[in-house]
Structure 1
Amino acid sequence: MRIAVTGSSGKLGSATVDRLCRDGHDVHGLDVAGAAGPGFTRVDLTDYGQTIDSLLGVTARFADVDAVVHLAAIPVNGLVPDAATFHNNLTVSFNVLHAALRAGIRTIVTASSITAMGFPFEEAPEFLPIDETVSRANNTYALGKVAEEAMAAQLVRWADGTSITALRFTNVVAPGEYGTFARASEPGYRRDLLFSYVDARDGAQAVALALARAEPGFEVYDVCASDNGTTVPSAELAATHFPGVPLRAGLGEFETLMSIDKARTRLGFEPEYSWRDEFEQAAQG
């Protein structure tokens, strides 16, 4: 397919472009900044005119886009004022999704977030591992993600055959960043993320699978590593930090507390990278 990737210069965006290119797709990055070249076009996605123009094709770059992977966003609260985070991200997502439909693009994969499930979980989850049935926002970044999912669920109805898949990514870690996991034995570390994380390469795998298995309609999937990000067993983490929260029977010793069962079953997603292996390699290197 010819695939446009917004936010292509980011951590997850770069990994996704690499993965999709290796899979044989014709990939074109759209972002506000990035390395100049035939596979990249600088686009201000807050401008609807630039957004739809780029998805209709860019002279000397590409035309006739088959699918869009939407990863562009201000990635966390705190980089700009809170309201600006919400306004920017919701505007960009509307522009991309609406422009894609106007351009006749019927396959869209968009980045959602663990924040749409209650991060930083000051209010304890109703159950663990948490799954896609939970929708709860506690900051403006999260509010934007909840609103984007709701918007996508409506927009997907506007054109027959449209598929929109929202992937709820957790803390994305790139190769070479696992040095921070030296603190993994500290009981409170990564608590706000339910001790979850995802390697950027596994995030890119989820994107590739969502594109390959896209079906008409709107779906949401959790995407994270299969293990927790500490040396503490998952049941112990839950009992310590979320006392009284019901645990699913048969929880593995270090199994993630952010369920990826749906992604495994429906997409065939299976994380390949663990902080344990990567940290050992970083420590040896």
Structure 2
Amino acid sequence: MKNVIVTGGSGKAGRAVCRDLVAHGYSVLNIDMQPSTDPICPFYKVDLKDFGQVIDAMQWTGGKDHPFRKFRTPDAVVHFAAVPAPDLVPEDVTFRNNVISTYHVFDAAIRSGVKRIVWASSETTLGLPFNPANPPAYAPIDEEHPMRPESAYSLSKDLGEEMARQMQRWNPDTTFIGLRLSNVMESGDYKRFPGWQEDGHLREWNLWGYIDARDCAQAVRKALHVDFVGADHFIIANADTVMECESAALMKQIYPGVPLRKALDGRETLLSIDKARRVLGFTPEYSWRNAQ
């Protein structure tokens, strides 16, 4: 599986995914509306809301001297293009963009013969933003936590997971892997973390979670090769929190009524990555505590 289309390869997580795949020997095509600031692979401008453009992208060859010239059908599609968070544009714009573009990518990939799609779902499907008036059902949160979308953005991701389940059911030889990504951070973002340490409420909204963009890319690469056929989803977060305070103390301070399903070890994540570790072989390699 060496020829991969990445949608949204110009975004924060997408850049890391493209960089990681190229470094591991893949031929990668970034399809996005804007070229990447890290142009490590070919770029093709595509509006994912236009189904014809998406079909065209799935069969793009790039000319006789281009690395993709022998691959009219990619081996896999990594779908990261989206309005990336709530409240960036009006709710209906977020919803229409994310739902329609996800449908187009999934459908065009299947029509083009692609058997594996890895895509960016979101931690927000689980009820974010949390606060003491809207707490999680339990902690650490895992994939069995109730789906509680609280915005058009999180609803679009929830519906994307349902699309993946149903399209896979229609095409039982395909694989859809949704990655419920925590808040994506690049190394330059870590300079903000010291400013959060005096007030646990500042990052209560996602249980103090994050995912280093490089570990996000690792999760994608592992998902491309895991021996699995079907539709499934995984929480992808770093192994620690954004805080110096230990996780059990944070929960006692901010969410004292929320049941803990396990004893917490130090600053371990409250967004459980046990399933991703077990099934995908995902092991976070980066932390803000030793950022480089």
TM value normalised by structure 2: 0.92
Residue 133 of structure 1 and its aligned partner are, at CA, apart by 1.3
Distance 2:201 2:289 in 1: 18
1:191 partnered with 2:192: no
User: Where do residues 1-285 of structure 1 align in structure 2 (5 Å cutoff)?
Assistant: 1-35=2-36, 39-60=42-63, 61=66, 62=68, 63-122=72-131, 123-134=134-145, 135-186=147-198, 187-278=200-291
Amino acid aligned to 2:164: A
Query: Is the contact made by 1:183 and 1:189 (CA closer than 8 Å) also made in structure 2?
Result: no
> For each residue in 1:121-171, what CA deviation from the matched residue of structure 2 results, as whole angstroms up to 9, or x when unmatched?
242111100011121100110010101001111001122310000000011
Residue 38 of structure 1 and its aligned partner are, at CA, apart by 6.3
Structure 1 residues 169 and 181 mapped into 2: Cα distance closer, same or farther (>3 Å)? same
Please list every run of 5 or more consecutive structure 1 residues that lacks an aligned counterpart in the other structure: none
Query: Is the contact made by 1:57 and 1:65 (CA closer than 8 Å) also made in structure 2?
Result: no
The root-mean-square deviation of aligned C-alpha atoms, in Å, is: 1.4
Deviates more, 1:2-11 or 1:38-47: 38-47
**SS at 1:269 equivalent:** coil
Query: Is the contact made by 1:224 and 1:260 (CA closer than 8 Å) also made in structure 2?
Result: yes
> For each residue in 1:147-199, what CA deviation from the matched residue of structure 2 results, as whole angstroms up to 9, or x when unmatched?
10011110011223100000000110012111110123122221101100010
Distance 1:167 1:244 in 2: 29
Query: Aligned residues: percent identity?
Result: 43
Distance 2:41 2:220 in 1: 22
**SS at 1:235 equivalent:** helix
Amino acid aligned to 1:15: A
* Alignment length (residue pairs): 279
Query: Is the contact made by 1:107 and 1:214 (CA closer than 8 Å) also made in structure 2?
Result: no
Structure 1 residues 168 and 37 mapped into 2: Cα distance closer, same or farther (>3 Å)? closer
Residue 59 of structure 1 and its aligned partner are, at CA, apart by 3.8
Please list every run of 5 or more consecutive structure 2 residues that lacks an aligned counterpart in the other structure: none
> For each residue in 1:90-109, what CA deviation from the matched residue of structure 2 results, as whole angstroms up to 9, or x when unmatched?
01100000111111101000
Amino acid aligned to 1:16: V
TM value normalised by structure 1: 0.94
Query: Is the contact made by 2:235 and 2:271 (CA closer than 8 Å) also made in structure 1?
Result: yes
